[in-house]
Chains A and B, each alone.
Chain A
Amino acid sequence: MRDYDRLLRVVSKAMIPFIVVFALYVQFHGDFGPGGGFQAGVILAAGLIFYSLIYGLENTKKLIPPRVVEVLTATGVSLYIFVGMIGIYRGSDFLDYSVLAQDAVHGQHYGIFLIELGVGITVFAVMVIIFYMFVGRRRES
């Protein structure tokens, strides 16, 4: 790498951890304040895309292979539906969080936490997959 890349590499190395932590904050604080899975997924994906812009697509694909990303898209949705199905299993309706724990308040808390996690995983994975596809396309031609 040429010397003037150094600035970018140093700055990005310093910033990416904060982007990831902020994504996690938005993810897990989403049920108390503004935020949630959708925003967190996008922020996390933005962190990864940032990494790939500086360190290259090959390194990023080593970090998270496309195959894994594809599985993650399905994992998030499955987690969402799975939580919904517990409601049916416990004798209530689909997506009823109240029956997830010993009392309704805890149940609602767990429910929204897991559902948002599912949303976060899928949004992150879909953002990354779109990025991989666009970038990969240019390399082919």
Chain B
Amino acid sequence: MMLDGTEDEDKFLAAGIAGLQQNSFYMHRALDSNNLRDALKYSAQMLSELRTSKLSPHKYYELYMRAFDQLRKLEMFFEEETRRGCSIIDLYELVQHAGNILPRLYLLCTVGSVYIKSKEAPAKDVLKDLVEMCRGIQHPVRGLFLRSYLSQVSRDKLPDIGSEYEGDADTVADAVEFVIQNFTEMNKLWVRMQHQGPAREKEKREKERSELRDLVGKNLHVLSQIEGVDLDMYKDVVLPRVLEQVVNCKDELAQFYLMDCIIQVFPDEYHLQTLDVLLGAYPQLQASELACFFPFVDIKTILSQLMERLSNYAASSAEVLPEFLQVEAFSKLSNAIGKSYFLIRMLLKRKVYFFTSFSCVFPMIQCLMLLSLCSWIVVIEAQPDMPTVGVVTLYSSLLTFTLHVHPDRLDYADQVLGACVKKLSGKGKIEDNRATKQIVALLSAPLEKYNDIMIALKLSNYPRIMEYLDIPTTKVMATVIIQSIMKNGTRISTSEKVEALFELLKGLIKDSDGIPNNELDEDDFKEEQNSVSRLIQMLYNDDPEEMFKIIDTVRKHILAGGPKRLPFTVPPLVFSSLKLVRQLQGQEENPFGDDASTTPKKIFQLLNQTIETLSGVLAPELALQLYLQCAEAANDCDLEPVAYEFFTQAYILYEEEISDSRAQITAIHLIIGTLQRMHVFGVENRDTLTHKATGYSAKLLKKPDQCRAVYACSHLFWVDDHDNMKDGERVLLCLKRALRIANAAQQMANAARGSTGSVMLFIEILNKYLYFFEKGNLQITVAAIQGLIELIMNEMQSDSTTPDPAADAFLASTMRYIEFQKQKGGTVGEKYEAIKVSHAG
């Protein structure tokens, strides 16, 4: 059926075009031979093709455009004709002899355009006549196109201010009058389309209508383009007249489109100045009355657009804000919404489900709220069945608007949030997906506006709303907050703020009460916790006192985080504490005494306790590392007991918690490295610690590891900058022990696998020998080195040795180093000169 319909339509269109072309051909011939009578005859016949009722608006448009092109030529001909002496008035009469109305009116508009141009009559009279005569077309589609033709040809001939058609008799008021009248008639025709034809084709008609809507809307655009329409004229004439038509047409599609048009085509400042009029129209719209029965009506969208434009306008520059206040936008709004307010209450009394109508007036309520919060809350609270998503959407829009218009009035924003909390209270966690999304939007609004979490922290009701979120959403929100902080590089610099912030971030920082989150994705979790740890870095204050408080606060919070979170959160805390320590260390000793102020000692105590928690939660390696870090910091602060304590803790951890051999290796190397740098210890303490470390090294599981750890220990007895810590003998002892272990390893390998292992260890030890030799350790003799080199050479030539290219290369470069040092000359060169290297093979 449908297919046949379109096919037929194509046929009709083709026939129409053919007829049109044929007649336009004859018309052209008449034009060429200046035959006015024939020109009129054939143009009328040509235009008769537009009388068809068989085409959809879309196809009709195609036909119309072709006719339009031809009419342009005809218009030019008329112009020439008047130049040749034909009276334009006669011409104006002559075209009206046509018997069929549609061609007659097209011709009349065409001649009328020439008539205005000739200025033989005031433009307003001609325009008035044309717009009046066009009433003869009552068929919606044909009428719309005819009037759009009229609007098209008259556009550049309106008696606008500054236009050549403006005169004593012609004022801009006439231009406006003309356009409005044409608009009104077009809109009537457009609306009428809806009510004609069978009911079952309603959808098709709506589609057709929306295809035509721009023809109607164009008039508003023309209006907005008229120079002479200033604010006063807009306020006094244009808007009331247009609104009158919009309200009276009682058609949803038209009202929706036209209100949107009005908002879009006229400047923002006009809207602002006429807010009361504009808003006054809304309750009168068809949609708001019917909303309770037909929830499809979406007046909300239009209004949101208006508010959005106003918000943006307010946000665009600071200069316009006084304008808002000056016109008392809000009090005007509140007056204007009186009616809608009553409407709401009325509907409430009827207990009608009126969510849609409610949301369509919410911008008004926004304003009402700003003036009298109480009455507003009454409105919302009186509606217990209103879905949560509705409530939240409402508040979210409300907040955005408030933030834009009153960025300096945080109390307004807080009131909005407070009201929201109140409304949400007693509902428990919000499960509705859409609602939670809206809450996120609501809570994100202040962040986006101020780009500063500090502002949000000042909103006392902010965290209270977060309580209503379910766990995943809380996390989402917390992430949003953290991202905002990161993006803007906000520094949170007081402990109160930190306290408040962590209150907001609860979802990330600790497990929710009673709800295990086993199903949590591991990666997500890491992601979240990483962001928390990044956040901790952002908490900073130059004042050590305050910084200490911040640290204390953070610590309190993160310690509640449970074993899974601590490995993520403790390190950043430790490091920011250490940063504070270093800051203090740079300063002179606090002149005000120890009691009140922050000292490194106090921080270290705190740190000790903090790290202790880590050791209890299966992250001993991490704890050990942190202990060592702290110890080093304590070293720098010359706090021997503290440093010793940290080492002790580290050793205990090593002994008790770290059992994995690989972890042990890493740990022992860390210990050795740190210990090597410690200079705060007295001899006794140092001995104890080095002894222990050496002991641990020798007890590693694998021989090569043992060997390496032991020769590393040699450094513990030789600290370059500290003469009192150079014990050549013990260095040698260590190295010898390492050699022994290496030997043992070699033999073990021989026994176990039948071939000796790599000589790598020997070469490594050789390098240590060379190092200390160079550093001037007298215990390291040339003979020992040479002995070692020979040993290595022998080993390498031995049949049972597994060839190892890496070891070869290593040895070769060691040898090259020796050669290089020799050639360098000087004291070092002399020293090396003694080493005789015999090249094997």
Pairing of A with B: no
